[in-house]
Amino acid sequence: MLIGVVGKTNTGKSTFFSAATLVDAKIAPFPFTTIEPNLGKAYVRSPCPCKELKVKCAPKNSLCEDGTRLIPIDLIDVAGLVPDAHLGKGLGLKFLDDLRAADALIQVIDVSGTTDSEGNPTDFYDPANEVISLEEEMSHWIASIIKRSWSKIKGKKMDSIAGLLSGLKMTQDDAEKAAAKSYLPTEDVNWSDDDILAFSKEVRRISKPILIAANKIDLPASEKNYQNLKERFKDRIIVPACAEAELALRKADKQGLIHYVPGDTDFKILAQNIPEKQLSALSFIKERILKRYNGTGVQELINRAAFDLLGLIVVYPVEDEGKFSDHFGNALPDAVLLKKGSTALDLAARIHTDLANNFICAINARSRMKIGKEYVLKNCDVVRVISSAR
Protein backbone atom coordinates (compact mmCIF):
# COMPACT_ATOMS: atom_id res chain seq x y z
CA MET A 1 0.00 0.00 0.00
CA LEU A 2 1.20 3.52 -0.83
CA ILE A 3 0.00 6.70 0.88
CA GLY A 4 0.58 9.99 -0.93
CA VAL A 5 1.38 13.20 0.97
CA VAL A 6 -0.05 16.07 -1.07
CA GLY A 7 -1.01 19.72 -0.86
CA LYS A 8 -0.20 23.16 -2.16
CA THR A 9 3.34 24.46 -1.80
CA ASN A 10 4.67 25.69 1.54
CA THR A 11 2.10 24.07 3.84
CA GLY A 12 4.60 21.96 5.79
CA LYS A 13 4.04 18.98 3.49
CA SER A 14 7.70 17.97 3.31
CA THR A 15 8.07 18.56 7.05
CA PHE A 16 5.16 16.16 7.56
CA PHE A 17 6.85 13.59 5.32
CA SER A 18 10.19 13.97 7.12
CA ALA A 19 8.51 13.68 10.52
CA ALA A 20 6.66 10.52 9.46
CA THR A 21 9.68 8.84 7.87
CA LEU A 22 12.83 10.63 9.15
CA VAL A 23 13.87 10.86 5.49
CA ASP A 24 15.74 14.11 4.83
CA ALA A 25 13.28 15.73 2.42
CA LYS A 26 14.07 19.31 1.42
CA ILE A 27 12.31 21.75 3.74
CA ALA A 28 12.23 25.48 2.98
CA PRO A 29 9.72 28.38 3.12
CA PHE A 30 9.33 28.87 -0.62
CA PRO A 31 7.36 27.18 -3.42
CA PHE A 32 8.50 23.98 -5.15
CA THR A 33 10.96 22.82 -2.51
CA THR A 34 9.97 19.30 -3.58
CA ILE A 35 10.40 18.65 -7.30
CA GLU A 36 11.25 14.96 -7.49
CA PRO A 37 8.98 12.82 -5.30
CA ASN A 38 10.41 11.61 -1.99
CA LEU A 39 9.83 8.00 -0.97
CA GLY A 40 10.06 6.67 2.56
CA LYS A 41 8.67 4.30 5.17
CA ALA A 42 6.23 5.48 7.80
CA TYR A 43 4.74 3.23 10.47
CA VAL A 44 1.18 2.19 11.21
CA ARG A 45 0.60 1.89 14.95
CA SER A 46 -1.35 -1.10 16.30
CA PRO A 47 -1.55 -3.03 19.62
CA CYS A 48 0.84 -5.99 19.56
CA PRO A 49 -0.62 -9.31 20.84
CA CYS A 50 2.58 -10.03 22.81
CA LYS A 51 1.21 -8.94 26.19
CA GLU A 52 -2.11 -10.70 25.71
CA LEU A 53 -0.31 -13.91 24.68
CA LYS A 54 2.35 -13.46 27.39
CA VAL A 55 5.30 -13.80 25.01
CA LYS A 56 8.35 -11.65 24.41
CA CYS A 57 8.04 -10.78 20.74
CA ALA A 58 11.01 -10.62 18.38
CA PRO A 59 9.83 -8.51 15.40
CA LYS A 60 11.65 -8.86 12.09
CA ASN A 61 9.64 -6.74 9.64
CA SER A 62 8.36 -4.21 12.18
CA LEU A 63 9.00 -2.75 15.65
CA CYS A 64 7.43 -3.31 19.05
CA GLU A 65 7.54 -0.54 21.66
CA ASP A 66 6.19 -1.87 24.97
CA GLY A 67 3.21 -3.59 23.39
CA THR A 68 2.72 -1.13 20.53
CA ARG A 69 3.55 -2.63 17.12
CA LEU A 70 4.84 -0.21 14.47
CA ILE A 71 4.36 -1.68 11.00
CA PRO A 72 6.02 -0.08 7.95
CA ILE A 73 3.93 1.41 5.16
CA ASP A 74 5.12 3.33 2.10
CA LEU A 75 4.78 7.11 1.84
CA ILE A 76 5.41 9.37 -1.17
CA ASP A 77 5.78 13.15 -0.94
CA VAL A 78 5.08 14.82 -4.28
CA ALA A 79 5.63 18.32 -5.63
CA GLY A 80 3.33 21.06 -4.37
CA LEU A 81 0.00 21.79 -6.04
CA VAL A 82 -0.95 25.12 -7.56
CA PRO A 83 -4.31 26.09 -9.11
CA ASP A 84 -4.76 24.91 -12.73
CA ALA A 85 -2.05 22.24 -12.37
CA HIS A 86 -4.06 20.06 -14.78
CA LEU A 87 -3.53 22.81 -17.40
CA GLY A 88 0.23 22.70 -16.84
CA LYS A 89 0.62 25.53 -14.33
CA GLY A 90 3.41 25.15 -11.76
CA LEU A 91 4.80 21.64 -12.10
CA GLY A 92 1.50 20.66 -13.67
CA LEU A 93 0.96 17.06 -14.66
CA LYS A 94 4.15 15.95 -12.94
CA PHE A 95 2.48 16.48 -9.57
CA LEU A 96 -0.58 14.56 -10.70
CA ASP A 97 1.26 11.74 -12.46
CA ASP A 98 3.37 11.12 -9.35
CA LEU A 99 0.13 10.27 -7.53
CA ARG A 100 -0.99 7.49 -9.88
CA ALA A 101 0.24 4.65 -7.68
CA ALA A 102 -1.06 6.07 -4.38
CA ASP A 103 -3.90 4.16 -2.71
CA ALA A 104 -4.91 7.03 -0.39
CA LEU A 105 -3.88 10.64 0.13
CA ILE A 106 -3.07 12.76 3.16
CA GLN A 107 -3.63 16.37 2.15
CA VAL A 108 -1.51 18.71 4.25
CA ILE A 109 -3.12 22.15 4.42
CA ASP A 110 -1.92 25.33 6.11
CA VAL A 111 -4.75 25.75 8.59
CA SER A 112 -3.23 29.01 9.87
CA GLY A 113 -4.24 30.77 6.62
CA THR A 114 -0.81 32.44 6.28
CA THR A 115 0.02 31.20 2.76
CA ASP A 116 -1.96 31.88 -0.40
CA SER A 117 -2.99 29.45 -3.16
CA GLU A 118 0.55 29.39 -4.57
CA GLY A 119 2.30 29.07 -1.23
CA ASN A 120 3.33 32.71 -0.83
CA PRO A 121 3.08 34.46 2.56
CA THR A 122 -0.22 36.25 3.17
CA ASP A 123 -2.83 36.88 5.87
CA PHE A 124 -6.37 35.56 6.34
CA TYR A 125 -6.32 33.02 3.48
CA ASP A 126 -9.21 30.54 3.75
CA PRO A 127 -7.73 26.99 3.98
CA ALA A 128 -11.04 25.59 2.71
CA ASN A 129 -9.85 26.71 -0.75
CA GLU A 130 -7.05 24.14 -0.52
CA VAL A 131 -9.51 21.30 0.09
CA ILE A 132 -11.63 22.29 -2.90
CA SER A 133 -8.66 22.97 -5.17
CA LEU A 134 -7.06 19.54 -4.74
CA GLU A 135 -10.29 17.72 -5.54
CA GLU A 136 -10.96 19.89 -8.58
CA GLU A 137 -7.44 19.49 -9.96
CA MET A 138 -7.51 15.72 -9.55
CA SER A 139 -10.96 15.40 -11.12
CA HIS A 140 -9.92 17.49 -14.14
CA TRP A 141 -6.72 15.44 -14.44
CA ILE A 142 -8.67 12.15 -14.50
CA ALA A 143 -11.10 13.66 -17.04
CA SER A 144 -8.14 14.62 -19.26
CA ILE A 145 -6.90 11.01 -19.18
CA ILE A 146 -10.30 9.82 -20.41
CA LYS A 147 -10.68 12.53 -23.06
CA ARG A 148 -7.28 11.76 -24.60
CA SER A 149 -8.57 8.31 -25.53
CA TRP A 150 -12.24 9.20 -26.03
CA SER A 151 -12.28 8.32 -29.73
CA LYS A 152 -11.37 4.73 -28.80
CA ILE A 153 -13.91 4.51 -25.96
CA LYS A 154 -16.99 6.24 -27.34
CA GLY A 155 -19.87 3.84 -27.98
CA LYS A 156 -18.20 0.94 -26.18
CA LYS A 157 -18.79 -0.74 -22.81
CA MET A 158 -17.33 0.11 -19.41
CA ASP A 159 -14.46 -2.37 -19.72
CA SER A 160 -12.78 0.04 -22.14
CA ILE A 161 -12.79 2.84 -19.56
CA ALA A 162 -11.82 0.45 -16.77
CA GLY A 163 -8.75 -0.61 -18.75
CA LEU A 164 -7.82 3.01 -19.31
CA LEU A 165 -8.04 3.74 -15.58
CA SER A 166 -6.22 0.62 -14.39
CA GLY A 167 -3.13 2.77 -13.76
CA LEU A 168 -5.18 4.50 -11.04
CA LYS A 169 -5.85 1.08 -9.49
CA MET A 170 -9.48 1.13 -10.67
CA THR A 171 -11.19 -2.19 -11.39
CA GLN A 172 -14.12 -2.63 -13.78
CA ASP A 173 -16.39 -2.97 -10.75
CA ASP A 174 -15.03 0.35 -9.43
CA ALA A 175 -15.64 2.03 -12.79
CA GLU A 176 -19.21 0.73 -12.94
CA LYS A 177 -19.86 2.02 -9.40
CA ALA A 178 -18.52 5.45 -10.41
CA ALA A 179 -20.80 5.48 -13.45
CA ALA A 180 -23.82 4.42 -11.39
CA LYS A 181 -23.18 7.19 -8.84
CA SER A 182 -22.97 9.65 -11.75
CA TYR A 183 -26.25 8.28 -13.27
CA LEU A 184 -24.45 7.44 -16.50
CA PRO A 185 -25.11 4.55 -18.92
CA THR A 186 -22.53 1.77 -19.00
CA GLU A 187 -23.50 -0.18 -22.13
CA ASP A 188 -23.21 2.44 -24.87
CA VAL A 189 -20.74 4.99 -23.50
CA ASN A 190 -21.52 8.29 -25.21
CA TRP A 191 -20.99 10.95 -22.58
CA SER A 192 -20.72 14.74 -22.72
CA ASP A 193 -17.77 16.66 -21.25
CA ASP A 194 -19.88 17.36 -18.15
CA ASP A 195 -20.66 13.65 -17.86
CA ILE A 196 -16.96 12.79 -18.07
CA LEU A 197 -16.12 15.31 -15.35
CA ALA A 198 -18.91 14.01 -13.09
CA PHE A 199 -17.65 10.45 -13.62
CA SER A 200 -14.06 11.56 -12.94
CA LYS A 201 -15.09 13.05 -9.58
CA GLU A 202 -16.47 9.66 -8.53
CA VAL A 203 -13.33 7.93 -9.82
CA ARG A 204 -11.25 10.25 -7.64
CA ARG A 205 -13.37 9.45 -4.57
CA ILE A 206 -12.99 5.71 -5.13
CA SER A 207 -9.37 5.49 -6.27
CA LYS A 208 -7.79 8.30 -4.23
CA PRO A 209 -9.67 8.82 -0.94
CA ILE A 210 -8.36 11.86 0.95
CA LEU A 211 -8.04 12.80 4.58
CA ILE A 212 -6.97 16.26 5.71
CA ALA A 213 -4.04 17.23 7.92
CA ALA A 214 -4.89 20.63 9.43
CA ASN A 215 -1.21 21.49 9.80
CA LYS A 216 0.35 24.40 11.73
CA ILE A 217 -2.34 24.01 14.37
CA ASP A 218 -0.07 25.82 16.85
CA LEU A 219 -0.32 29.18 15.04
CA PRO A 220 -2.74 31.97 16.16
CA ALA A 221 -5.64 31.70 13.67
CA SER A 222 -5.43 27.93 13.30
CA GLU A 223 -7.95 26.80 15.90
CA LYS A 224 -10.72 28.98 14.49
CA ASN A 225 -9.97 27.88 10.92
CA TYR A 226 -9.87 24.24 12.02
CA GLN A 227 -13.31 24.49 13.60
CA ASN A 228 -14.65 26.19 10.45
CA LEU A 229 -13.28 23.36 8.31
CA LYS A 230 -14.96 20.73 10.47
CA GLU A 231 -18.24 22.57 10.20
CA ARG A 232 -17.99 23.05 6.43
CA PHE A 233 -16.69 19.57 5.53
CA LYS A 234 -18.64 17.38 7.94
CA ASP A 235 -18.14 14.26 5.83
CA ARG A 236 -14.32 14.50 5.80
CA ILE A 237 -11.72 13.21 8.22
CA ILE A 238 -9.86 16.32 9.41
CA VAL A 239 -7.07 15.94 11.98
CA PRO A 240 -5.31 18.85 13.72
CA ALA A 241 -1.55 18.47 13.22
CA CYS A 242 1.81 20.03 13.91
CA ALA A 243 4.41 18.37 11.71
CA GLU A 244 7.21 20.55 13.08
CA ALA A 245 6.51 19.30 16.61
CA GLU A 246 6.51 15.67 15.47
CA LEU A 247 9.80 16.14 13.63
CA ALA A 248 11.36 17.76 16.71
CA LEU A 249 10.21 14.90 18.94
CA ARG A 250 11.45 12.17 16.60
CA LYS A 251 14.83 13.83 16.18
CA ALA A 252 15.18 14.28 19.95
CA ASP A 253 14.27 10.62 20.44
CA LYS A 254 16.80 9.54 17.80
CA GLN A 255 19.49 11.61 19.59
CA GLY A 256 18.68 9.88 22.89
CA LEU A 257 17.49 13.09 24.54
CA ILE A 258 13.95 11.82 25.09
CA HIS A 259 11.98 8.60 24.73
CA TYR A 260 9.03 9.09 22.40
CA VAL A 261 6.85 6.56 20.63
CA PRO A 262 5.12 8.04 17.56
CA GLY A 263 1.50 8.69 18.41
CA ASP A 264 2.03 8.97 22.17
CA THR A 265 0.58 11.95 24.01
CA ASP A 266 3.69 12.40 26.18
CA PHE A 267 7.42 11.73 26.18
CA LYS A 268 10.10 11.04 28.79
CA ILE A 269 13.20 13.22 29.09
CA LEU A 270 16.33 11.06 29.30
CA ALA A 271 19.25 13.48 29.02
CA GLN A 272 20.34 15.85 31.78
CA ASN A 273 22.13 18.41 29.62
CA ILE A 274 19.46 19.46 27.09
CA PRO A 275 20.05 23.11 26.04
CA GLU A 276 17.59 25.55 27.60
CA LYS A 277 16.18 26.61 24.22
CA GLN A 278 15.45 23.02 23.21
CA LEU A 279 14.02 22.22 26.65
CA SER A 280 11.67 25.19 26.31
CA ALA A 281 10.58 23.99 22.86
CA LEU A 282 9.88 20.50 24.22
CA SER A 283 7.83 22.01 27.04
CA PHE A 284 5.81 24.03 24.52
CA ILE A 285 5.16 20.91 22.44
CA LYS A 286 4.00 18.97 25.49
CA GLU A 287 1.65 21.64 26.85
CA ARG A 288 0.44 23.38 23.68
CA ILE A 289 0.17 20.44 21.31
CA LEU A 290 0.36 16.95 22.88
CA LYS A 291 -1.98 17.66 25.78
CA ARG A 292 -4.37 19.90 23.87
CA TYR A 293 -4.73 17.75 20.73
CA ASN A 294 -3.81 14.28 22.10
CA GLY A 295 -0.66 14.14 20.00
CA THR A 296 0.90 15.93 17.06
CA GLY A 297 -1.59 14.41 14.60
CA VAL A 298 1.05 12.90 12.31
CA GLN A 299 0.72 9.33 13.55
CA GLU A 300 -3.06 9.58 13.80
CA LEU A 301 -3.21 10.63 10.14
CA ILE A 302 -1.11 7.68 9.02
CA ASN A 303 -3.23 5.30 11.08
CA ARG A 304 -6.50 6.71 9.82
CA ALA A 305 -5.29 6.57 6.22
CA ALA A 306 -4.43 2.90 6.70
CA PHE A 307 -7.36 1.74 8.82
CA ASP A 308 -10.19 4.15 7.96
CA LEU A 309 -9.56 4.99 4.29
CA LEU A 310 -7.88 1.78 3.11
CA GLY A 311 -9.63 -0.60 5.50
CA LEU A 312 -6.49 -2.49 6.48
CA ILE A 313 -6.08 -5.02 9.27
CA VAL A 314 -2.94 -6.44 10.93
CA VAL A 315 -2.32 -10.20 10.87
CA TYR A 316 0.59 -12.12 12.43
CA PRO A 317 1.69 -15.23 10.48
CA VAL A 318 3.60 -17.85 12.49
CA GLU A 319 5.04 -21.34 11.90
CA ASP A 320 4.59 -22.71 15.42
CA GLU A 321 1.12 -21.99 16.78
CA GLY A 322 2.06 -23.31 20.23
CA LYS A 323 4.86 -20.77 20.72
CA PHE A 324 3.38 -18.12 18.37
CA SER A 325 6.76 -18.14 16.61
CA ASP A 326 8.68 -18.86 13.45
CA HIS A 327 10.83 -22.02 13.17
CA PHE A 328 13.71 -20.21 14.87
CA GLY A 329 11.61 -19.52 17.96
CA ASN A 330 11.11 -15.79 17.27
CA ALA A 331 7.71 -14.89 18.72
CA LEU A 332 5.35 -12.84 16.51
CA PRO A 333 8.13 -12.13 14.01
CA ASP A 334 6.06 -10.52 11.26
CA ALA A 335 3.09 -8.19 11.12
CA VAL A 336 1.27 -8.09 7.78
CA LEU A 337 -1.13 -5.41 6.57
CA LEU A 338 -4.04 -6.84 4.58
CA LYS A 339 -7.34 -5.50 3.29
CA LYS A 340 -10.34 -6.06 5.54
CA GLY A 341 -12.15 -9.12 4.19
CA SER A 342 -8.93 -10.94 3.28
CA THR A 343 -8.92 -14.71 3.78
CA ALA A 344 -6.45 -17.27 5.07
CA LEU A 345 -5.63 -18.03 1.43
CA ASP A 346 -4.88 -14.34 0.82
CA LEU A 347 -2.46 -14.41 3.74
CA ALA A 348 -0.76 -17.51 2.30
CA ALA A 349 -0.37 -15.75 -1.06
CA ARG A 350 1.06 -12.68 0.67
CA ILE A 351 3.73 -14.82 2.35
CA HIS A 352 4.63 -16.85 -0.76
CA THR A 353 2.78 -17.97 -3.88
CA ASP A 354 3.83 -21.59 -3.26
CA LEU A 355 2.02 -21.57 0.08
CA ALA A 356 -1.15 -20.42 -1.64
CA ASN A 357 -0.84 -22.84 -4.55
CA ASN A 358 -0.36 -25.78 -2.17
CA PHE A 359 -2.64 -24.58 0.63
CA ILE A 360 -4.00 -27.34 2.88
CA CYS A 361 -5.45 -25.41 5.80
CA ALA A 362 -4.53 -22.86 8.44
CA ILE A 363 -4.63 -22.77 12.21
CA ASN A 364 -5.92 -19.98 14.40
CA ALA A 365 -3.08 -19.87 16.94
CA ARG A 366 -5.26 -18.46 19.71
CA SER A 367 -7.97 -21.13 19.54
CA ARG A 368 -5.79 -23.89 17.98
CA MET A 369 -8.73 -24.50 15.61
CA LYS A 370 -8.25 -25.40 11.97
CA ILE A 371 -9.57 -22.86 9.52
CA GLY A 372 -10.15 -23.17 5.79
CA LYS A 373 -8.91 -21.03 2.93
CA GLU A 374 -12.14 -19.00 2.93
CA TYR A 375 -11.82 -18.01 6.61
CA VAL A 376 -12.09 -14.21 6.84
CA LEU A 377 -9.22 -12.86 8.88
CA LYS A 378 -9.77 -10.55 11.84
CA ASN A 379 -7.57 -7.75 13.05
CA CYS A 380 -4.68 -9.06 15.20
CA ASP A 381 -5.28 -12.70 14.19
CA VAL A 382 -2.26 -14.98 14.72
CA VAL A 383 -2.30 -17.64 12.01
CA ARG A 384 -0.23 -20.61 10.90
CA VAL A 385 -0.56 -21.61 7.24
CA ILE A 386 -0.14 -25.34 6.47
CA SER A 387 0.87 -26.18 2.92
CA SER A 388 2.21 -29.16 1.01
CA ALA A 389 4.91 -26.94 -0.48
CA ARG A 390 8.38 -27.46 0.92
The pLDDT of residue 99 is 81
Burial track 9-32 (b if 16+ CB lie within 10 A, e otherwise) = bbbbbbbbbbbbbbbebebeeebb
The pLDDT of residue 27 is 39
The pLDDT of residue 116 is 87
The pLDDT of residue 127 is 94
One-letter amino acid of 152: K
Question: Quick one: residue 374, left, alpha or beta (phi over 0 = left, psi -120 to 50 = alpha)?
Answer: alpha
The pLDDT of residue 386 is 96
The residue extents of the domains of the chain are 313-387
| CATH class of the domain comprising 313-387 | alpha beta
> What is the pTM assigned to this prediction?
0.89
3-class secondary structure for the chain? CEEEEECECCCCHHHHHHHHHCCCCCCCCCCCCCCCCEEEEEEEEEECCHHHHCCCECCCCCEEECCEEEEEEEEEECCCECCCHHHCCCCCHHHHHCCCCCCEEEEEEECCCCECCCCCECCCCCCHHHHHHHHHHHHHHHHHHHHHCHHHHCCCCHHHHHHHCHHHCCCHHHHHHHHHHCCCCCCCCCCCHHHHHHHHHHHHHHHCCEEEEEECCCCCCHHHHHHHHHHHCCCCCEEECCHHHHHHHHHHHHCCCEECCCCCCCCEECCCCCCHHHHHHHHHHHHHHHHHHCCCCHHHHHHHHHHHHCCEEEEEEECECCCCECCCCCECCCCEEEECCCEHHHHHHHHCHHHHHCEEEEEECCCCEEECCCCECCCCEEEEEEECCC
The pLDDT of residue 318 is 97
Among candidates 191, 187, 205, 101, which has minimal Cα distance to 146?
A: 191
d(CA 141, CA 244): 31
The pLDDT of residue 84 is 67
The pLDDT of residue 370 is 96
pLDDT under 70: residue ranges of the chain: 23-37, 79-80, 82-95, 390
The pLDDT of residue 32 is 42
Among candidates 298, 323, 360, which has minimal Cα distance to 77?
A: 298
Q: Provide the residue count of the chain.
A: 390
The pLDDT of residue 69 is 95
The pLDDT of residue 157 is 74
The pLDDT of residue 29 is 43
The pLDDT of residue 41 is 92
Query: In this structure, which long-range contacts are made by residues 181-186, counting pairs with CB atoms below 8 Å and at least 24 apart in sequence?
Result: 186/157, 186/158
d(CA 223, CA 73): 30
One-letter amino acid of 123: D
The pLDDT of residue 82 is 66
d(CA 227, CA 178): 31
The pLDDT of residue 329 is 95
